[in-house]
């Protein structure tokens, strides 16, 4: 789903990186946020509400709370403004998240 | 505790312009930016700007972000990324989270240029993954180079809805339709014409009835609305789509101004509650200025000039001798940007602000 050729833009994605999403390995780049990397991999469900309704991105710039996930054990991380890191463990968040 | 002459919240077009204006006067400036990348929403604007030379007309937004960043490259201006401003306290201390650290700042003056928030509207299924703010889709494709969808329905034919639709086409995404509740296209017709030439229907007096899908978005139901904006039964059309973009306007992000005790005024033309301010961007609280969308939703050229004006006003407040001509030049530029029929709504809103 990454755009390889664009009429106006060049994309500087940086070095390749891998991290895990619910245990599955995802390939990404160092200049991508977690939400962007997951979206590129076709993953659009980032969390579930208390009533188990699926949640995805909404604003992508850190305003809303729709993209919050569990990252390296920490809940309620806004994944749309969090850059991926090598070996990061990202998990679907269910409900309101628990402080580790 | 960090002591500084001027604290600027937000490194978008308004905040960077304010920092450049105050920094050029020799003031110590600290800019706090929530994102890992400065430039605000300019970084995803691939279209060329209008206006005049001072407002970088004929350059694309992401190029303008680079110009502004060059302008703040001076030893007395510090840009702190990954820094979310958290609170404004009665004793004049402002706090922020910088990465994992909590910092306290005691500025002599503040410019709040925090930007705006994309609105959503009510319909069944508006929380499904695949229902995105139009700006979010623009971020995915223009900032990160990710194709956000295969087939999109766009709700809203203002400038954001029209421009993002065209950019989706540029990125190889199909745009099924643009749906607009009002009887008229709100954005510039030059943008609408580009879409129509590429075969995208723009349905005015229509809105979204519901969004459906198993786990993620699969279809969008639109329908016609009457003059009271009520849906008309049996006009429904079901569009197959994996993404629905919502481009129904923005609300100013002015929580910090509320918290600081600034007088706030409800002005729908400017996006909702906005800070009262004088013609030089000063709020009702001495030493606190507002600029950009946080001061009232307009567009990026106004944000840059307004930011510069806020920076100059703050510098003057701090005792720097700023010639009247510099302030008047900003007023003139703002007036030109808001002139003509396209600026009528903004002018009406600004009229309410000062009363």
Which candidate from B131, B139, B142 shows the least CB-CB separation from A9? Answer: B142
Structural domain count of chain B: 2
pLDDT value at residue B333: 96
Taking an 8 Å cut-off on Cβ atoms, the answer to whether B140 and A60 are in contact is yes
Tell me: do B131 and B94 sit in the same domain.
Answer: no
- Percentage of residues in chain A with pLDDT exceeding 70? 99
User: Which chain B residues touch A3 with a CB distance below 8 Å?
Assistant: 141, 145-147, 171-172
Tell me: do B105 and B141 sit in the same domain.
Answer: no
Taking an 8 Å cut-off on Cβ atoms, the answer to whether A32 and B128 are in contact is no
β partners of residue A77: A69
Taking an 8 Å cut-off on Cβ atoms, the answer to whether A60 and B145 are in contact is no
Domains and CATH numbers, chain A: 16-94 (3.10.20.440)
Tell me: do B290 and B304 sit in the same domain.
Answer: yes
Residues of chain B scoring pLDDT < 50: none
Mean pLDDT of A12-41: 95
Q: How many CB pairs below 8 Å do chains A and B form together?
A: 98
Mean pLDDT of chain A: 93
Tell me: do B257 and B158 sit in the same domain.
Answer: no
Query: Is the pTM higher than 0.95?
Result: no
pLDDT value at residue A93: 96
Domain that holds residue B283: 2-117+250-351
Tell me: do B282 and B303 sit in the same domain.
Answer: yes
Task: Count CB atoms within 10 A of the CB of residue B212.
Answer: 13
Domain boundary among B246, B261, B286: B246
Which candidate from A7, A54, A58 shows the least CB-CB separation from B132? Answer: A58
Taking an 8 Å cut-off on Cβ atoms, the answer to whether A13 and B145 are in contact is yes
Give the span between the Cα atoms of B261 and B271, in whole angstroms: 20
Task: Count CB atoms within 10 A of the CB of residue B197.
Answer: 8
Domain boundary among B215, B246, B277: B246
* A94 Cβ under 8 Å from any chain B Cβ: no
Tell me: do B124 and B225 sit in the same domain.
Answer: yes
Domain boundary among B246, B269, B296: B246
B234-253 burial: b if 16+ Cβ within 10 Å, else e: eeeeebebbbbbbbbbbbbb
pLDDT value at residue B49: 81
Confidence grade of residue A12 (pLDDT, cut at 50, 70, 90): confident
pLDDT value at residue B341: 85
Tell me: do B238 and B311 sit in the same domain.
Answer: no
Tell me: do B298 and B321 sit in the same domain.
Answer: yes
**Interface list for A 10-49 with B (CB within 8 A):** 11, 13, 31-33, 36, 39-40, 44-46, 49
pLDDT value at residue B342: 81
| Burial zone of B142 (CB within 10 Å; 0-12 exposed, 13-18 middle, 19+ buried) | buried
pLDDT value at residue A69: 97
pLDDT at A70 over 70: yes
pLDDT value at residue B88: 97
User: Which chain A residues touch B245 with a CB distance below 8 Å?
Assistant: none
Tell me: do B93 and B198 sit in the same domain.
Answer: no
End-to-end CA separation in angstroms for chain B: 38
* Residue B333 near residue B78, CB atoms below 8 Å: no
Confidence grade of residue A100 (pLDDT, cut at 50, 70, 90): low
CA proximity to A13, closest of A61, A87, A84, A72: A84
CA distances from B104 to A3, B3, B101, B151, B261 (A): 41, 9, 10, 46, 19
Q: What is the CATH number of the domain that holds B301?
A: 3.50.50.60
CA B343 to centroid of chain Cα atoms = 16
Tell me: do B271 and B313 sit in the same domain.
Answer: yes
Q: Closest residue of B to A52, CA-based?
A: B215
């Amino acid at each position: 789903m990454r755009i390889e050729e664009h009429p106006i833009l060049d994309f500087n994605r940086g070095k390749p990186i891998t991290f895990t999403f619910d245990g599955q390995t995802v390939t990404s780049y160092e200049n991508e946020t977690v939400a962007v990397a997951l979206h590129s991999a076709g993953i659009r469900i980032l969390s579930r509400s208390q009533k188990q309704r699926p949640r995805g991105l909404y604003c992508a710039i850190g305003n809303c709370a729709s993209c919050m996930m569990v990252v390296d054990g920490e809940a309620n991380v806004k994944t749309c403004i969090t850059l991926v890191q090598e070996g990061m463990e990202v998990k679907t968040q269910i409900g309101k998240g628990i402080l580790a | 505790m960090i002591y500084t002459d001027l604290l600027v919240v937000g490194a978008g077009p308004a905040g960077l312009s304010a920092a450049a204006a105050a920094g050029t006067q020799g003031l110590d400036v600290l800019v706090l930016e929530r994102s890992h990348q400065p430039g605000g929403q300019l970084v995803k604007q691939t279209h060329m700007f209008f206006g005049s030379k001072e407002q970088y007309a004929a350059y694309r937004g992401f190029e303008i972000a680079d110009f502004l960043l060059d302008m703040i490259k001076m030893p007395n201006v510090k840009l702190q990324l990954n820094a979310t401003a958290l609170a404004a306290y009665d004793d004049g201390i402002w706090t922020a989270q910088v990465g994992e650290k909590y910092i306290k700042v005691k500025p002599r003056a503040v410019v709040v240029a925090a930007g705006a928030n994309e609105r959503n509207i009510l319909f069944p299924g508006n929380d499904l993954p695949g229902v995105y703010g139009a700006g979010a889709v623009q971020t995915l494709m223009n900032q990160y180079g990710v194709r956000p969808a295969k087939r999109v329905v766009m709700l809203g034919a203002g400038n954001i809805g029209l421009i993002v639709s065209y950019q989706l086409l540029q990125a190889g995404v199909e745009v099924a339709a643009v749906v607009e509740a009002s009887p008229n296209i709100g954005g510039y017709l030059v943008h609408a014409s580009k879409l129509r030439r590429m075969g995208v229907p723009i349905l005015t007096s229509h809105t979204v009835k519901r969004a459906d899908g198993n786990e993620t978005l699969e279809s969008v139901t639109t329908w016609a609305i009457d003059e009271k904006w009520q849906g008309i039964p049996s006009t429904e059309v079901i569009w197959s789509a994996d993404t629905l973009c919502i481009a129904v306007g923005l609300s100013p992000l002015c929580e910090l101004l509320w918290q600081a005790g600034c007088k706030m005024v409800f002005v729908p033309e400017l996006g909702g509650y906005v800070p009262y301010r004088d013609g030089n961007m000063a709020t009702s609280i001495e030493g606190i200025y507002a600029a950009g969308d946080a001061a009232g939703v307009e567009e990026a050229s106004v944000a840059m000039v307004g930011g510069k004006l806020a920076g100059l006003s703050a510098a003057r407040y701090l005792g720097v001798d700023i010639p009247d001509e510099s302030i008047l030049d900003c007023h003139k530029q703002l007036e030109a940007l808001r002139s003509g029929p396209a600026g009528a709504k903004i002018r009406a809103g600004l009229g309410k602000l000062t009363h």
